[in-house]
Structure 1
Amino acid sequence: MNESTNGFLVISLDFELLWGVFDKVDHKEKEIYFKNTRQVIPEILNLFSEYDIHCTWAAVGMLFNKNWEEWRGNTPNVFPKYKNSDLSAYHYGKSIQSPETEFLCFARDLIQQIQNTPHQEIGTHSYSHYYCLEEGQTLSSFKADLEKAIEMAKQMGIELKSLVFPRNQFNEDYLKVCYDLGIVNVRSNPTDWYWKDTQNDSLKNKIFRTGDAYIGPNNKSYKLTDLNIEKGKPLAQKASRLLRPYSPNKFLNDLKLKRIKSEMTAAAKNKEIYHLWWHPHNFGNNPDENVADLKEILDHYLACKEKYGFQSATMDEINKVMMV
């Protein structure tokens, strides 16, 4: 591998809609939130086109279904048997089926918009927002889940190359299965201690992760040479920073943006990778303000591109650079 002469901004989005939070919210209270999410995704795509941003959209496979009828016909041959059955998207889906809930759970139209936007990679967030570290699930049920996600994507002419583990439940034991099924990239977690053990989050971990958005060390980027290519495994690409939603507290919101821009500048100067991620539904509240925050970040990206040759890349494009 030749070390790159430029740094890279990598953006990956965990595209879930209701499948990502159904165990945490009452969907009836989130209808406006997800309507806003659906409306803001085309705005994000327009911004990405305007700024020539390359992005990986890790989409939950269930979103590829047109409706509940199609969803019922698309099930894997092995189901995850979580000890906590409330985590099962299959159990949950059966409980809310109606024409009124389809906009919360299916988004083939939005996937097509992403597909039709230049430089956008569609990756996977598993088929059912699968939890890879929860008690009761197995390697065989994970494989069946991923095979279904791949099948659904192929129906739209999409070849999945990149995966983001739901809830950041990164499972080393599952990497070979990913690779054998054609997944050559996975997003791994930041190395900070408060990103460990994501399935059993303590209050302390959550407090430190939130605080890290505003204060603390700024060494979040890394060099291409820090990525390790392991035979028979996907390339693990470490996340740098979660873009947290807009805060009405102007001081905190400005601090968050200042921190991201400072880290991006450091990555550009040092020819490193800065991997920013969030969920599109994080823009569901205050969508206009969140889009304005994103535009400010992208304006700064352009400044870094002009001054330091900073580049935008998808996860799979980083893989290809590694292979040069």
Structure 2
Amino acid sequence: MNSIFTISVDFELHWGGFEKWPLDEAKKQYFLNTRKLIPQLLDLFEQHEVHVSWATVGLLMHENKAEVEQNSPKTQPTYYQQELSAYQFIEKTGIGENEKEDPFHFAHSLIAEIVKRKGQELASHSFAHYYCNEVGQNTEQFDADSKAIQKAASKYGKQLKSLVFPRNQFNADYLKVCKQNGIEIVRSNPVDWWWDTNDGALNESKWKRLNRGLDAYFNVGGKTSYAQYAIKKQEGVYLLPASRLLRPYNPKESILNQRKINRIQKEMTIAAQNKEYYHLWWHPHNFGNYSQENLAGLKEILNHYSMLKEKFEMQSLNMGEILQKFEAGS
């Protein structure tokens, strides 16, 4: 059996944090930088034959506001903290008429490019950046969201099979709804306690965030790669654990930036030697600041994968391809 290197990226633009990120000029430039990076990322993945799951917010899949209104479900989340609702944001703050006018909330042209590239999977990050562990929402509302993103994805000729829960709010009780709506594999969280997501989107402790940050550079958490038997199936859905978040470059961290890359490379090597899985993830917008430094770090990781592929026959598969592998019994 080959070791497996997989990448999933959470493609959100402003939908990933509309409740906490005012769209000022600095933030607009941040997301414009992100958009410019997408083709560069696709070129890098193609160059290194790395297959990636693009977990995409369904609202980004539209060409214009009329399409958003047409595809938005009538049953919408009733969060106790109403500011978490993308629909409330649209109603109170508003979005533009189309991608040209509003490149922060529409990304049809980028998604059309993603689905054309070899090995790149269009996956679900829910339709409206749905929070599955927030007080007030329920499975009926999540079901409506799940149906809405499949409808949006059909524009690209796709039936989505893979899902990443927004803000990593993994909820095992919702797996049955996932299966009913065509999702057969989801990214689950690492086992370390600081990845528990029951606090909610706006209530997470600083202590958790601090430990997550420290673990990117030092041996704080547990082993990150895992054997195939560690990938469980629940309610007919495979749970593919995340291994490591690729944190963005920080000019204040100096030596730590390289330590972070070296740590990922070492973990990848352990996975390759032991014929295990290694699952790296991040958000494309994490590269919106210091873009070239972030790309340089990613190139180091992808070059390391190419070496492991040659030396240990490590294989790159996206989440959907891992699902196919399981279905084929290999």
Query: For this structure pair, what is the TM-score category when the shorter chain's length is used for normalisation?
Result: over 0.9
Q: Residue 256 of structure 1: CA displacement?
A: 0.2
Structure 2: gaps of 5 or more residues? none
CA distance in 1, matches of 2:222, 2:300: 19
* 1:40 partner letter: L
Check 1:194–1:69 CA distance in 2 against 1; reply closer, same or farther (3 A cut): same
Q: TM-score, normalised by structure 1?
A: 0.96
- Which of the residues 275, 279, 282 maps onto 1:275? 279
- Which of the residues 53, 65, 70 maps onto 1:68? 65
CA distance in 2, matches of 1:173, 1:165: 13
CA distance in 1, matches of 2:95, 2:2: 49
CA distance in 1, matches of 2:144, 2:82: 18
1:205 aligns with 208
- Which of the residues 94, 104, 117 maps onto 1:96? 94
8 A contact 1:213–1:259 mirrored in 2 = yes
1:32 aligns with 29
- Which of the residues 237, 241, 246 maps onto 1:243? 246
CA distance in 2, matches of 1:27, 1:46: 29
The answer as to 2:113 corresponding to 1:116 is no
Q: Residue 318 of structure 1: CA displacement?
A: 1.3
* 2:20 partner letter: K
* 2:75 partner letter: V
The answer as to 2:129 corresponding to 1:129 is yes
Give CA deviations for 1:241-266 in whole Å, capped at 9, x if unaligned: 00000122330101100100000000
CA distance in 1, matches of 2:40, 2:172: 35
CA distance in 2, matches of 1:16, 1:197: 19
8 A contact 1:185–1:235 mirrored in 2 = yes
Alignment of 1:1-324 (within 5 A): 5-28=1-24, 29-94=26-91, 95-99=93-97, 102-198=102-198, 199=200, 200-216=203-219, 219-230=223-234, 232-248=235-251, 249-323=253-327, 324=329
Give CA deviations for 1:8-54 in whole Å, capped at 9, x if unaligned: 11100000000001111111231100000000010000000100010
* 2:293 partner letter: E
Q: TM-score, normalised by structure 2?
A: 0.94
CA distance in 2, matches of 1:31, 1:244: 21
CA distance in 1, matches of 2:248, 2:227: 27
Task: Please state whether the residue corresponding to 2:264 is helix, strand or coil.
Answer: helix
Equivalent residues, number: 319
Q: Residue 88 of structure 1: CA displacement?
A: 0.5
Q: Residue 219 of structure 1: CA displacement?
A: 1.5
Task: Please state whether the residue corresponding to 2:5 is helix, strand or coil.
Answer: strand
Give CA deviations for 1:150-195 in whole Å, capped at 9, x if unaligned: 0010121011000000000001110001011110000000000111
Task: Please state whether the residue corresponding to 1:72 is helix, strand or coil.
Answer: helix
Identical aligned residues as a percent: 46
Q: After alignment, is 244-253 or 117-126 more displaced?
A: 244-253
Q: After alignment, is 248-257 or 136-145 more displaced?
A: 248-257
8 A contact 1:218–1:263 mirrored in 2 = no
Greater relative contact order (CA < 8 Å, ≥ 6 in sequence) = 1
Q: Residue 218 of structure 1: CA displacement?
A: 6.2
CA distance in 1, matches of 2:88, 2:197: 25
8 A contact 1:76–1:144 mirrored in 2 = yes
Q: Residue 101 of structure 1: CA displacement?
A: 5.8
8 A contact 1:53–1:312 mirrored in 2 = yes
Structure 1: gaps of 5 or more residues? none
CA distance in 2, matches of 1:177, 1:69: 27
8 A contact 1:178–1:184 mirrored in 2 = yes
Task: Please state whether the residue corresponding to 1:190 is helix, strand or coil.
Answer: coil
* 2:204 partner letter: D
Q: Residue 229 of structure 1: CA displacement?
A: 2.8
Q: Residue 73 of structure 1: CA displacement?
A: 2.4
8 A contact 1:68–1:102 mirrored in 2 = no
Q: After alignment, is 78-87 or 60-69 more displaced?
A: 60-69
CA distance in 2, matches of 1:287, 1:167: 23
* 1:92 partner letter: F
* 2:52 partner letter: C
Task: Please state whether the residue corresponding to 1:31 is helix, strand or coil.
Answer: helix
CA distance in 1, matches of 2:18, 2:4: 34
8 A contact 1:218–1:259 mirrored in 2 = no
8 A contact 1:178–1:233 mirrored in 2 = no
